[in-house]
Amino acid sequence: MSASDLTELDNRVLLICEQNEAGISDAQLSSVLPDVDKSDRVVSINNLLKTGKLSLLQSGKILLYKVKSQSENVPGGDNQEKLLYQIISAAGNKGIWVRDIRYKCNLMLTQVNKILKSLESKNLVKSLKSVSAGKKKLYMLYDLTPDRSVTGGAFYSDQEFESEFVDVLTNQCYRFLQNKAEDAQGQKSDPLTVQNASFASGEDMCHYISALGISKVQLTVDDMEMVLNALIYDGKVEKTLDAQHRSLYRAVTSPVNSVSMAKVPCGVCPVSHECEIGGTISPTTCPYLNDWLQF
């Protein structure tokens, strides 16, 4: 059996074991995999046991194969380490604060810090700062990519809002839509056709910005739509939906020379949905909004 065939069989066996949380016997596994030769099945099971993905249990006189829980994979960890690992794992890629870890494990802060330091030294968990609370650490599993609500996404660097970068994107997006509207006008067609030809999608904008090469990070359609929404707040762009419920945008001429809302950090803030007066994230304590108001 080739390495690729073994990997595919390993994945099939793991999936079957995951669907049988209490464990599955060799006879049951054989009945579920009638197309797999016994010798190949044995090689796969031994490989999964060796790599620590399966554990072997005994129920009466029957041996059962069971998928190892994440906490069981903590090398050399005691029960407290395994408990904290489970708590951090459950938080996913949004992470969890030390305060919440303490609340869930009911341990002293000194104990929690000691265990966290041990898990970090084993490269099982990592600590990082969130844009919503730069002075506090949160923890997540070592191999996870942080959610954009933690890092701030493409518009933040080292927990700092990149206002100049957002300004450049805003100007380029608006210029693109203006050019598209001018090209549509040049067709000298009926007004409805001209209007429809003026619209562009977030995907179109993403391809355009990518081709310009002005961004060092890979921007997504969601990133571009956040910029376009800021232009909508400024009265420079309007939005509609096509038959497939896809968002489309076009440049419009604002009758009022309003203050540029495109520069307001709220327009591209990844945690704006959590912002409220009196909350942990609040407009009254937001340093980015305060800087903008002073500007």
E strand or H helix that includes residue 210: helix 202-212
Same domain, 178 and 281: yes
Same domain, 276 and 224: yes
| Structure tokens given for 77 | 């960890």
Same domain, 177 and 286: yes
For residues 201 and 51, the model is more confident at 201
pLDDT at 258 over 50: no
Identify whether the C-beta of residue 87 lies closer than 8 Å to the C-beta of residue 96: yes
Same domain, 14 and 35: yes
For residues 178 and 280, the model is more confident at 178
Least confident interval from 164-178, 195-209, 263-277: 263-277
Same domain, 44 and 81: no
pLDDT at 254 over 60: no
Same domain, 174 and 282: yes
CATH number at residue 106: 1.10.10.10
Identify whether the C-beta of residue 223 lies closer than 8 Å to the C-beta of residue 229: no
pLDDT digits (tens, 9 = 90+) for 261-278: 545 677 667 677 778 877
Domain residues for the domain of 179 are 160-294
Same domain, 92 and 205: no
Same domain, 128 and 177: no
Domains of the chain: total: 3
* pTM, 2 dp: 0.49
Burial of 243 (0-12, 13-18, 19+ CB in 10 A): exposed
Q: How far apart are CA 88 and CA 101, in angstroms?
A: 8
Q: How confident is the model at residue 195 (pLDDT cuts 50, 70, 90)?
A: confident
**Percent of the chain, pLDDT > 90?**
16
pLDDT at 60 over 70: yes
Same domain, 62 and 95: no
Same domain, 197 and 129: no
Same domain, 179 and 272: yes
pLDDT at 166 over 50: yes
Q: Last residue of a domain, which of 88, 120, 151?
A: 151
Q: Last residue of a domain, which of 151, 185, 204?
A: 151
Q: How confident is the model at residue 295 (pLDDT cuts 50, 70, 90)?
A: low
Q: How far apart are CA 285 and CA 277, in angstroms?
A: 9
Same domain, 289 and 173: yes
Q: What's the mean pLDDT when you consider all of the chain?
A: 82
